[in-house]
Structure 1
Amino acid sequence: MMRVGPLGCVMAAWIVGAVLCAAALAQERPAGEVRVWNSDVLAPQEDILGYDAQKPLGPIRIVGARGGTFSGKVVVGCPGTLKGVSARAAELTQTGGTGRIGTDRIQVRYALVGLWESWQKISKAISRFDVLAERPPEEVRPHVSRRKSPREAWIPPGRAILPVWVTVSVPPDVPAGDYTGTVTLTLPGGTTRVPVRLTVCDYTLPDPKHWRTWSELIQSPDTLSLVYHVPLWSEKHWRLIDRSMAYVAAMGTRSCYIPLIAETNLGNAESMVRWRRKGPGKYTYDFSVMERYLDVTEKHLGRPGIVVFQVWDNFLEGGRFSGDIKFETKQTKAERLAYRGKGPEVTRVDAGGRVSGELLPPYSDAKAHALWKPLTEALLRRLARRGLKEAAALGMVTDSEPTKAVVDLWRSLLPGVGWVRHAHGSRKELHGVPYRYQLQVWHLRFANPNRTAEYHGWHRADLVGHLARDLRANFPMLTFRYLGEMNIGGAARGFGRFGADFWPVREDARVGIHGGWGALVSDGRFPKSSWRNLNVRLSFLAPGPDGALATARYEMLREGVQECEARIVIDEALLEGRITGALAERCRKLLNARDTAMIRGFNITNPDDYFANFVWYCSPGKAGEDGILWHARSDWQKRSGDLFTAAGQVAATRRRPH
């Protein structure tokens, strides 16, 4: 069992302290009146304000579709310390039908405060209760204000609050319709039964392996090793990786990153292919770590669409040694400039199994080809056996690019293999080699009710996604819910370069505006490979007792991507002219209404103005709260239900005989 501290930190033996912000603990005092109230998953201010509203307790409302995962919640709170709360869900039965959803498809979790960043950026629109613990807390202590702040004044002090999330994984074969059940809350002094009402729309979502929205979470093996204090590639480490990868797969991620060099921006201390000396300048290659990582990846993701082999970073030839380096930390500048002119470092293993770093010649050196050629030949054979040869790509390019000599070497080693770029802008090619996959910060168009019929980002031929550089955990829940749809309804295939489990690994470090302070493995663990504000700073999972846990943000992101899949079914049918008449007109209006609601929710007054539009993911504080709070009152669940229902009607047109 765990102990939960005040609003602002989680004091638990199994939650790593570096993940959570510090706050003063209240002196424990007995609980006052325990109340239970409803709260909207997209209106997290109700978690706190609902205590005083004293509205009649209604059902937990959930709207979804077959094959998807959807959540609702109820909140328990009291003055003083809250103890002994737990919850149990009963099966859901179809109203007027035979459908049943068993308890094995219903998960009850307990939302704990878990934002390690400043949590006051948007006062009433962010979820402070982010970590979804799978076991009930032993106690929840009340909130104590850490500082005098007008942004915190609306939060009543001295109350303990525990949102209880109910998440349903809807089977792909249940009948559509309304389902009802209960969640029984065990509380101090008794129990409370809360009705659950689930609407299953007549549409079946595809398996996440087949989602068309590009939704990328990157897994960090080194973070797990550091946070849980387990050796790299030990059996305990592999179990942690396996758990994280299951969450990555459930988000529809179809990429995988394999570092062939050490100390890249993703924070890897070692290369996944190990080198063994067999004589002067000669090596054999140990692929065992890479092979097992691909085994875990394929177990959960299926066959990934892209496997990025990291062979370059910005401390190698062509890296950032001048210009914007002036914005970086002193340590970053010193280490990168000291490294200039050197080649990549790889991991060498000796006969006794001991590992160390091995510095190789620069790629422009004539010796480089002979060193890397046997490795790449063996690599291609292994990929071919897995059916992954066509998935291979080279990385990682950022705002700085490798020199022509570097690109020419890898073109000779891996002919026809494209590069991957995560940067502020995009390019068509790299010294004559096409980019296989790109993420960019700027100059993308987002969903716009004035352009609904024109924008079809999911349909573009090239794989270009959005790198929401400034998105942080303390942004409104609305941002995470619509991150996918703002892009696929705009001009991008989706989003990427978010962490799954890139958690803080140092308590004495911070994340500065230009990065490189070492709080995260991608934010200065190896200062020479810092990408400044393009470091991976946002993760959607949290550390739990046995590995990764989901967060409220993760669940909202996933629900949003599921809605993207339904939208794509409709938009594709409209583009291809497969639906006409009243159904087509209704679908056009539905998509436009969704764009209108998103833009209003983000308080964007002129969606045609790029600089007014991008604040939804860059600086929501500039947009204010009015739109976000409006959205919470706008019956967004009806829009979700209408979307899934229309997608089902469109999908049915494919099954009808001509």
Structure 2
Amino acid sequence: MLKLFDRVRVVLAVVILINLGCSKKQRNDGLVSSEIRMDDISHVPEWLKLNVDEVFDLDSLNVWVPTGNFQTSSLIRVPRFPRKYLDTELIKNVALRDFQISNLADETELTLEAVKNEQISAQIALGSKNDITGLSIAVSDLIATNGNVISQKNFQVRYVKYLPIQRARSEYDWSPKLENIIGEGVSGNMAPDIVGDALMEMKAIDVPAYRAQPIWFTLKIPKNTEQGEYEGAITLSSDQYADRKYKLKLIVNDQEIPDSKDYKFHLDLWLNPSVIAEYYELPLWSESHWEMISKHLKDYASRGGRNLATTITHEPWLKPWIGNSTRSQIEYGYHSMVEWIRSENGEWKFDYKVFDKYVALAMHYGIDGDINAFSMAPFKDTKQKIHFLDKKDNLFKDLELDIHDDMFESLWIKFLSSFKEHLISKDLMERTFLGFDEKPEEDMKILLSTIEKTAPEFLDRIMIAGHPGGTSYATNLSISYMFFPEQPLEHKAVVPVIPTIGNRTGQDKRTTFYLCAEPAHPNALTYSPAVESQLIPWLALKYNTDGYLRWSYNNWTKDPFKNPVFRHNQGDDYYVYPGKEGPISSIRWELLKEGIEDYELYWVVKQKGKVSIESLNKAIEFATRNEDGRYKTVEDLYMSRSLLIERDKNAGPLVSND
């Protein structure tokens, strides 16, 4: 009897071991870990699976290069649920060809071309009709024939995370509806619509059956890299399938772009440190808060961030809200970096400790351009709430003033006089501008009159984002792209944009353009076609502006991964996502940097004089000839880059993915 019991126990143990082994290799649909899969979809309709089934040729692992060209593969968003395209669709819109799937052969060689000191991104996508678990990627060193090495440490491997698509209040108010923006990169056919954007750095992930998963590679070319060809390999591993290994070739050209701190391109994003405290639940201006601010400033600086947005009042961006009230146009709002204090005898004093520390920290990371102080008057309104500490009863209070009130002028005269003296004492006066966002000209006349009475030095340090008519008083002017040629508001411009830019260039005044939740195209919203993010800096070349502005770098919702919209079109409020250890990048953020690098490369080769003016002009033409990414082939950016790179005629083909 005991022997029989032992036999049963052995058999059971073997069965358990077999099942454990199988569970690693064969996990049923729905059993992949929701924590390490790149979407939050709990159910996929059968008809949507059928779409995917039609394009997954293999019953095993399907692997392909988005666009079919590793060099341009990062310029589309890979649909989570890819589909088959009809010939009539491809004839009508040739850009859809970039989304077709062609499985890679085992002997495929993936080729990239770059210049020194730049980063380049690329994608491989994969998927299966079965669950994939434990997906991980390895990249080897890249080695030249002469033995030179580009270490694998220069590679960053991330997985594209998919987010839900949500409608915004602004679509009913003033901005384009998402139906006029989204392209083929958004998938789900309302069941639900999702889009890949956040780039997650993880050791391994799971991929549910009937879904595509892009792998995002970013390679940073060291500036001391020697020109030549380097070879290595990319290996894909998973629990279910044998490893896939692909040769990787990198062609490094002789050109070199400058470090980000020396970029010619003027990038002006308005980073909000208040949101960082609110989202991470950190005490405002505590050491833990400053530590997290540092990580975001460093990230902003890595793109060549120049200007620094500061707040001298609470909530400079107020908008009408429920119940005839006003509130910040973002979920968390803005705290002032200057504390306003009314003493017991009614005198006003101002504490600049936070302002000073923020400016010093930004300078530490190389953000040493203009300091824009927002704002004497709130966004598009004449009423402002002054948040202050009343020493009489030691309580914080709000004082609401209209710019037409006598008290508004007297109070701001006191502040500007104090602010000017403080900036002079800190040697910051020459760098500091008074910032205004989309203020009507009639309001600006009142504000400028107040400035002239107490601190006329600021009249040469006015920063305006808005209408081209602001050129008459703005040293730093950012013009809404809506007023540019062939854009919806071109006919409403008080003065034409192109002559305005030309005149300002001759007067050595800075001019940028900005995008917000409009126009529909080009843009860098969460669901904008990816190619548009890299296109944006090329528009600065086309129109001869100094760079690009966007009002927000990090104005997150409470949960940007599940509820990504507060009021404005999705992604208008933030380029990056909040991670446990700091900012998580996005497809938009990476491609904006690479577009800025294109801008820098353009000026490098132009100054060398080795590329003809005709080729330079053609490069701009190709890059910008279609600003609607839904119908733009990525070949446009490929040709533009090719025209900027001096290539050896005997170097062979640029790409060999077939």
Q: State the TM-score, normalized to the length of structure 2.
A: 0.70
Q: After superposition, what is the alpha-carbon deviation per residue over 1:94-149, rounded to whole angstroms, capped at 9, x for unaligned? A: x233432223322111111136446874442569321111114542335xxxxxxx
Per the alignment, residue 618 of structure 2 pairs with 593
Per the alignment, residue 406 of structure 1 pairs with 447
Per the alignment, residue 288 of structure 1 pairs with 353
Per the alignment, residue 399 of structure 2 pairs with 359
Q: After superposition, what is the alpha-carbon deviation per residue over 1:375-401, rounded to whole angstroms, capped at 9, x for unaligned? A: 545544554465432121112141524
Instruction: Report the CA distance shift for 1:170/1:208 in structure 2 as closer, same or farther (over 3 A).
Output: same
User: CA separation in 1, counterparts of 2:503 and 2:125?
Assistant: 38
- Count, aligned residues: 530
| 1:89 lines up with 2:122 in the alignment | no
Per the alignment, residue 41 of structure 1 pairs with 74
Check whether the contact 1:270–1:346 (CA below 8 A) recurs between aligned residues.
no
| 1:482 lines up with 2:535 in the alignment | yes
User: CA separation in 2, counterparts of 1:642 and 1:214?
Assistant: 23
Q: CA deviation at 1:254?
A: 0.9
Instruction: Report the CA distance shift for 1:351/1:114 in structure 2 as closer, same or farther (over 3 A).
Output: farther
Instruction: Report the CA distance shift for 1:262/1:181 in structure 2 as closer, same or farther (over 3 A).
Output: same
The letter of the residue matching 1:72 is A
Q: CA deviation at 1:440?
A: 2.3
Per the alignment, residue 206 of structure 2 pairs with 139
| 1:275 lines up with 2:340 in the alignment | yes
Per the alignment, residue 274 of structure 2 pairs with 222
Q: CA deviation at 1:362?
A: 5.0
Per the alignment, residue 159 of structure 2 pairs with 110
Q: Which of 525, 535, 543 is the equivalent residue of 2:578?
A: 543
User: CA separation in 1, counterparts of 2:621 and 2:137?
Assistant: 38
Q: Which of 309, 313, 316 is the equivalent residue of 1:257?
A: 309
- Taking only the aligned residue pairs, the percentage that are identical comes to 18
2:112 partner SS: strand
Check whether the contact 2:36–2:205 (CA below 8 A) recurs between aligned residues.
no
Instruction: Report the CA distance shift for 1:440/1:269 in structure 2 as closer, same or farther (over 3 A).
Output: closer
Per the alignment, residue 464 of structure 1 pairs with 511
Larger radius of gyration: 2
Check whether the contact 1:458–1:491 (CA below 8 A) recurs between aligned residues.
no
| 1:178 lines up with 2:226 in the alignment | no
The letter of the residue matching 1:38 is V
Instruction: Report the CA distance shift for 1:289/1:32 in structure 2 as closer, same or farther (over 3 A).
Output: farther
Instruction: Report the CA distance shift for 1:179/1:509 in structure 2 as closer, same or farther (over 3 A).
Output: closer
Q: Which of 124, 133, 139 is the equivalent residue of 2:184?
A: 124
Q: After superposition, what is the alpha-carbon deviation per residue over 1:244-287, rounded to whole angstroms, capped at 9, x for unaligned? A: 22221122221111111112217544211112343222243222
Per the alignment, residue 215 of structure 2 pairs with 164
User: CA separation in 2, counterparts of 1:507 and 1:500?
Assistant: 13
The letter of the residue matching 2:465 is H
Q: After superposition, what is the alpha-carbon deviation per residue over 1:66-120, rounded to whole angstroms, capped at 9, x for unaligned? A: 1211112222321243221122322222x23343222332211111113644687
| 1:63 lines up with 2:113 in the alignment | yes
The letter of the residue matching 1:191 is D
1:519 partner SS: coil
Check whether the contact 2:377–2:403 (CA below 8 A) recurs between aligned residues.
no
Q: Which of 502, 525, 532 is the equivalent residue of 2:555?
A: 502
User: CA separation in 2, counterparts of 1:196 and 1:349?
Assistant: 65
Check whether the contact 1:35–1:51 (CA below 8 A) recurs between aligned residues.
no
Check whether the contact 2:36–2:204 (CA below 8 A) recurs between aligned residues.
no
- RMSD of equivalent CA atoms: 4.1
User: CA separation in 2, counterparts of 1:206 and 1:458?
Assistant: 26
The letter of the residue matching 2:432 is A
Instruction: Report the CA distance shift for 1:557/1:598 in structure 2 as closer, same or farther (over 3 A).
Output: same
| 1:416 lines up with 2:483 in the alignment | no
Per the alignment, residue 649 of structure 1 pairs with none
The letter of the residue matching 1:124 is E
2:315 partner SS: coil
Q: Which of 602, 609, 615 is the equivalent residue of 1:567?
A: 602
Q: State the TM-score, normalized to the length of structure 1.
A: 0.70
Check whether the contact 1:218–1:248 (CA below 8 A) recurs between aligned residues.
no
Q: After superposition, what is the alpha-carbon deviation per residue over 1:587-612, rounded to whole angstroms, capped at 9, x for unaligned? A: 22322332342345x2xxxxxxxxxx
Instruction: Report the CA distance shift for 1:501/1:106 in structure 2 as closer, same or farther (over 3 A).
Output: same
Per the alignment, residue 324 of structure 1 pairs with none
Q: After superposition, what is the alpha-carbon deviation per residue over 1:611-635, rounded to whole angstroms, capped at 9, x for unaligned? A: xxxxx2xxx38xx53xx23x34x6x
Question: Which residues in structure 2 correspond to 1:206-355 (within 5 Å)?
Answer: 206-265=258-317, 267=330, 268-314=333-379, 319=382, 340=383, 343-348=384-389
Q: CA deviation at 1:364?
A: 5.5
Structure 1 gap ranges (5+):
1-5, 143-158, 320-339, 512-517, 524-532, 603-615, 647-658
Q: After superposition, what is the alpha-carbon deviation per residue over 1:400-434, rounded to whole angstroms, capped at 9, x for unaligned? A: 242534322223333222322222443233xxx44
Instruction: Report the CA distance shift for 1:356/1:80 in structure 2 as closer, same or farther (over 3 A).
Output: farther
Q: Bigger CA drift: 374-383 or 300-309?
A: 374-383
User: CA separation in 1, counterparts of 2:402 and 2:216?
Assistant: 53
User: CA separation in 1, counterparts of 2:612 and 2:160?
Assistant: 36
Instruction: Report the CA distance shift for 1:436/1:456 in structure 2 as closer, same or farther (over 3 A).
Output: closer
Q: Bigger CA drift: 49-58 or 68-77?
A: 49-58
The letter of the residue matching 2:453 is S
Check whether the contact 1:254–1:306 (CA below 8 A) recurs between aligned residues.
no
Check whether the contact 1:60–1:72 (CA below 8 A) recurs between aligned residues.
no
The letter of the residue matching 1:346 is H
Check whether the contact 1:397–1:419 (CA below 8 A) recurs between aligned residues.
no
Instruction: Report the CA distance shift for 1:369/1:136 in structure 2 as closer, same or farther (over 3 A).
Output: same
2:335 partner SS: coil
1:97 partner SS: coil
Q: Which of 124, 127, 134 is the equivalent residue of 1:77?
A: 127
Check whether the contact 1:60–1:74 (CA below 8 A) recurs between aligned residues.
no
Instruction: Report the CA distance shift for 1:479/1:538 in structure 2 as closer, same or farther (over 3 A).
Output: farther
Q: Bigger CA drift: 250-259 or 121-130?
A: 121-130
Per the alignment, residue 552 of structure 1 pairs with 587
Check whether the contact 1:502–1:536 (CA below 8 A) recurs between aligned residues.
no
Q: CA deviation at 1:559?
A: 0.7
